[in-house]
A and B are shown apart, each in its own frame.
Chain A
Amino acid sequence: MMRWHLCQCLLVDNSKIQFRILKETFNPYKEFELWENFNKSSANSFFIGRVRPFDQYGNDLRKLEIVHYKGMTEKYIERYLMKISRKQDNLSILLLHRIGFIYPDEPIILIAVSANHRGISNKYLQEILEFTKYKVPLWKKEWTFKGSSWVKKNTDLGFEL
């Protein structure tokens, strides 16, 4: 299987940041395993977001398309991850995000955070995920068997905070 290599590994104080925008699908477990070999700590949080099999109107989904603003998307992710790394020592972060055409059940996003305590790794995992939904130049278009439509807004968190 062809695999890509992480292009960025930024060191901010005592923290490590790795992220990449991917045009091809990936195996999140393999990526996590590889990353964790060098970044494991006492608390390791892990999130995989996958394509739903239906669109925002409930129709069967054929594929999802994600577009980005090349340059700006990478800059906003990098700046944000560096900011949280400066707030929190001994944090390791991996963020992979797909663009292009993605099919139902395929992974869209992988986030992994390791820290010294579970509260810290879970907190930043959630924060990074919400950041990618609301603060990064990325847009989703849903393709069904009848046509396509841009996603109007993000799905709810799934529970009340």
Chain B
Amino acid sequence: MKGEKSNKIKVVLLSSIAQDLGWNEKILTIEDSEMTVFSVWNLINSKLPQDNIIVSINQEITDMKAIINPDDEVAFMPMFTGG
């Protein structure tokens, strides 16, 4: 609804992280207005180490301390291996 405040975020996992956690995309409801990328990572993951993970908000690389806003797309991905 127009004017209604959203509290949803989209979480995207890529490559080995998607394979290890068993999913690619999820819509999550955020309760906390100061939620960081790190807190989303802790929410979705209980087994993978956070070493060498690249994170992005709305397809721009950021860090684990960044604050997430409603409707953001947050992604977790391993180091790049293209080329």
Contact = CB atoms under 8 A, between A and B. Distances in A.
Contacts of B80: 133-139
Interface string B50-83: 0000101001000000000000000101111111
A139 B59 contact: no
A138 B77 contact: no
B16 A139 contact: yes
A109 B83 CA distance: 7
Q: Is the interface of A mostly helix, strand, loop or mixed?
A: mixed
A136 B82 CA distance: 7
A154 interface: yes
Nearest to A72: B59
A66 interface: yes
Interface residues of A, number: 29
A29 interface: no
In this complex, the interface size class of chain B, counting residues with CB under 8 Å from chain A, is 10 to 19
Contacts of B75: 69, 72
A132 B54 CA distance: 16
A153 interface: yes
B12 A69 contact: yes
B14 A133 contact: no
A100 B82 CA distance: 12
21 contacts: A67-B14, A67-B15, A69-B12, A72-B59, A75-B59, A97-B82, A97-B83, A129-B83, A131-B83, A135-B80, A137-B77, A138-B81, A138-B82, A138-B83, A139-B78, A139-B80, A140-B81, A150-B15, A150-B19, A151-B81, A154-B83
Q: 8 closest pairs, A vs B, by CB?
A: A138-B82, A133-B83, A72-B59, A132-B83, A139-B15, A150-B16, A151-B81, A140-B81
Interface of A: 49, 66-69, 71-72, 75, 97, 108-109, 129-141, 150-154
Interface of B: 12, 14-16, 19, 54, 56, 59, 75, 77-83
